[in-house]
Structure 1
Amino acid sequence: MDIILEAKNRETGARSTLTKLRNKGQLPAVIYGYNVDNKPVTLDYKEMSKAVQKYGRTSVFKINLEGKQINAVVTDVQRCALKGTVKHIDLLSINMAEELEVDVPVTVTGESVGVKEGGVLMQPVRELKIKVKPSEIPESIEVDASNVGMNESISVAEIRNTVPFEIVNADEDTLVSVTPPVVVNDDTAGQGDTEVQDIKATGAPESQS
C-alpha cells in the first residue's frame, strides 16, 4: 500500500465532541492490539475512504501513529442509521508475521441452474471468518453457484479444502441456496380491490382528502 494514513490522538468525552470532529471531516477511531495500547484517535475521513475504495476493507492499512508506523486491519465499522456514513471504526494493530482471524465477504459467481428454472438465490452467510497471514488476506471469497439446482445449496464443508487458508466457520453454514419461487394464490389476489368496489356500490361516501 502506497498510502500512509495519519492518526491523531483524541480525547474521549461527550458525544458533542465526536460530532464536532465529524463536522470537521475527521473520523473517530480506536487503535488497539500488537504493540499498541487502546488509543482513541481520529483519521481524515476522505483519506480513509479513498484507501478503502482503492484497496478494499479487508486490506492491511499503514497508519502513522505518533511517529510510529503500524499495520492495522478494520475490525468494526459503525454507520449512521439515517445517512449510512461511517461514524466510527475499530483498527487492530497486527504483527505481519503472525496469522490472524478476519471476516472476508463472500462473492457468489455464475448463474445457477435453479435460478434459470425460476428459483430464488439466497445467501444466508455473506462473510466468512478465516485465519490467514496479513499479507495473504483475500479481498473476497468466490463461490461458484452455477451447478446449484432447485432446493440445493453449498455449505462451508464443500469449499473448505478449495481455499489456501483456514475457515473458522462451521461446516454446516450455508453459503448459497436456491429456493422455489413464492406462489401467489389467484383466489386472494385483488381481493382488496373487490372489497373497495363493494363499499362504493352501497353508496357509502368516499373519504375526502
Structure 2
Amino acid sequence: MTIYSTLLAEKFQKLHPKLQHRYELPLNQTFHAEGVMHQIQNGSKLLSSFYHIVAKANFLFPESGENVPFSIANRCRINKDEEAEVFWERTFYFPKVIRKFNAKMTIDLEKQIVKDYLGDVPFFYSDLLFDVTKEGFLLITSGTQKVVMGKMEIPIPNMFKGRVTVLEGYDEVKGVYTIHVSIYNDLIGRIMMYAGEFTESDF
C-alpha cells in the first residue's frame, strides 16, 4: 500500500487500471513518463516578478507555450521523519529554457488529505483532496494553503488562495495518460494552467 492507495482505500480500485498502475508507486521505484503539454498558460503580467522568483526553487515559472515536450518522474521514498513520501519532478522543455515544477507529498489519514509542499525549497504548502470520478479519473482539489517560512506555516486567506483542480485520466483509444491542471485565484484569475498527454517510459 502506497500513500495514494492507502488514502483512497476502496476508491482506489475504481480508478482506471492504468491509473492504478501509475499511482501504485512501490517504495523506491520510480514511475517515468514522457509526453507533450498541448497548452501551458501562466497568468497576469502582475505576477511576472513572482514567477521569476519562484522558478528558481522549481515551483511555478513565467513561460507559456503550445506543444511543449514534457517529462515526469514520481518516486516513493522514506523521508527524514520516517514517513512515506512521494517526490514529484515535472520538467517542461521550452525552446529556450527548461523549467521544473517539483513537489513532495505525504498523507494525513486523520484529516484524509495529501500534504503537498511545493518547490525544492518549500515555501508554499497546500492540502490536497483526492477523489475518483465515475469515469475512473483521478480528481484532485486544494484546501487549506500556507506560506512556509522555516518552521512557521502561515495560513493564506481565502481571497488570496490559488484554487487547484487536477483531472488525470487515461485515453484507451490513443493509449495515453491525460492531464489537465488549473490554478486559479478569485481576484486575479488564472495563475497557471497546463493540459496534455503522456506515456510511461523506461527513462
Scaled to the shorter chain, the TM-score interval is: under 0.3
Hey, which of these two has a bigger chunk of strand by percent?
A: 2
TM-score by length of 1: 0.22
Hey, which of these two has a bigger chunk of helix by percent?
A: 1
